């Protein structure tokens, strides 16, 4: 039996059905109730990579159209939009039950020199001494209905240490800024494109939650309906996801039943390796 990290690597090993047609497993990863958004992002990026040579992704832009069904595979159809001298563009459509559930556009760039600058990494506590997600959840699992406890505390593929974690049942209003450290030791030695796919998978973690923080909301209260609407990501530097990375997030705006969220991902040495942005549904749930 594979451990969660090995399962995730296997999940991203999508099957080629035709030249530009691929199939990925629907079940696995962060949740068993639905297909986790980061999973379909990562699988779609992997499908695009199966049609690209000698260059790495520098940006992706995606839309979530329908909820994914974890009981069946996902079909990924790649459109080779452009192969240029410096840039390659791919469009990927994810299909289940004969309908689009997700689409992604990704751009790939040859490695070339240019001017460099970046914003510094925030001065926050390091991962040492911070309780892991599993340790945090073990302290509160007894407050959940028994039928969901096993899934809540089951091991996940990404090691997460959240700085200043909230009470998921009664958090109270807080700053939209939040930080976590994450890594996946099993990523050691994997190829650069796989490192990017794994980081893309992890980039959906906690991001939408930033727009809930100022309103004292979490998913566990039953007061809010949430869903990722779109997701964008830019890769700035090489990464080794077996090492700790800081994910710093904020939400400049929430309104009109939507929340806008931003993220920056730094290596432990302070290098800005990626940036993210996501808008999500934040809809008040009607009381029955």
Q: Residue 154's pLDDT is what?
A: 86
Q: Are 105 and 134 within one domain? A: no
Segment 140-199, tens digit of pLDDT: 898 888 888 888 888 899 999 999 899 888 889 999 999 999 999 999 999 999 999 999
What is the rounded CA–CA span in Å between residue 156 and residue 134?
A: 9
Catalytic site residue from 176, 204, 242, 250: 204
Looking at per-residue confidence, does 222 or 78 come out higher? 78
Segment 11-29, tens digit of pLDDT: 999 999 999 999 999 877 6
Q: Are 106 and 138 within one domain? A: no
Which residues span the domain enclosing 96? 1-110
Q: Are 247 and 199 within one domain? A: yes
Judge whether 272 and 236 are in contact, CB under 8 Å: yes
What percent of the chain lies above the pLDDT cut of 90? 84
Segment 81-129, tens digit of pLDDT: 999 999 999 999 999 999 999 999 999 999 999 999 999 999 999 999 9
Q: Are 141 and 84 within one domain? A: no
Q: Residue 287's pLDDT is what?
A: 64
Active site residue 211: no
Active site residue 228: yes
Q: Residue 221's pLDDT is what?
A: 87
Residue 117 forms part of a structural domain: no
Q: Mean pLDDT lowest for which of 26-40, 189-203, 230-244?
A: 26-40
Catalytic site residue from 43, 96, 195, 278: 278
- Counting the structural domains of the chain, the total is 2
Q: Are 61 and 169 within one domain? A: no
- Look at residue 208 and tell me whether its pLDDT is greater than 80: yes
Residue 121 forms part of a structural domain: no
pLDDT band of 288, cuts 50, 70, 90? low
Residue 187 forms part of a structural domain: yes
Q: Are 152 and 214 within one domain? A: yes
Q: Mean pLDDT lowest for which of 69-83, 95-109, 192-206, 274-288?
A: 274-288
Q: Residue 134's pLDDT is what?
A: 92
Q: Are 43 and 155 within one domain? A: no
Active site residue 204: yes
Catalytic site residue from 39, 43, 211, 228: 228
Q: Residue 219's pLDDT is what?
A: 84
CATH number of domain containing 163: 3.10.129.10
What is the rounded CA–CA span in Å between residue 285 and residue 28?
A: 28
pLDDT band of 1, cuts 50, 70, 90? low
Q: Are 9 and 77 within one domain? A: yes
Q: Are 85 and 35 within one domain? A: yes
| Mean pLDDT, the chain, whole residue set | 94
In 3D space, the residue among 61, 76, 65 whose CA is nearest the CA of residue 21 turns out to be 76
């Amino acid at each position: 039996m594979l451990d969660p990290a090995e399962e995730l690597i296997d999940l991203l090993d999508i099957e080629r059905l035709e030249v530009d047609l691929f199939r990925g497993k629907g079940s696995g990863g962060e949740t068993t109730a639905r297909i986790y958004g980061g999973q379909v992002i990562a699988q779609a990026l992997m499908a695009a990579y199966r049609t690209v040579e000698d260059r790495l992704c520098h940006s992706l832009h995606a839309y979530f159209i329908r909820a994914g069904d974890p009981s069946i595979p996902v079909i990924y159809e790649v459109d080779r939009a452009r192969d240029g001298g410096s840039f390659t563009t791919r469009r990927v459509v994810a299909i289940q039950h004969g309908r689009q559930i997700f689409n992604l556009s990704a751009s790939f760039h040859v490695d070339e020199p240019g001017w460099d600058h970046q914003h510094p990494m925030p001065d926050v506590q390091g991962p040492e001494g911070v309780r892991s997600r599993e340790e945090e959840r073990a302290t509160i699992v007894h407050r959940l209905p028994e039928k969901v406890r096993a899934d809540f505390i089951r091991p996940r593929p990404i090691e997460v240490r959240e700085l200043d974690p909230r009470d998921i049942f009664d958090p109270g209003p807080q700053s939209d800024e939040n930080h976590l450290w994450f890594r996946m030791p099993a990523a050691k030695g994997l190829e650069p494109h796989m490192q990017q796919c794994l980081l893309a998978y992890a980039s959906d973690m906690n991001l939408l939650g930033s727009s809930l923080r100022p309103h004292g909301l979490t998913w566990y209260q039953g007061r809010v309906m949430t869903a990722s609407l779109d997701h964008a990501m830019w890769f700035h530097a090489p990464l080794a996801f077996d090492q700790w990375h800081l994910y710093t997030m904020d939400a400049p705006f929430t309104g009109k039943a939507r929340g806008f969220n931003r993220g920056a991902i730094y290596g432990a040495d302070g290098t800005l390796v990626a940036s993210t942005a996501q808008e999500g549904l934040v809809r008040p749930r009607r009381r029955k």
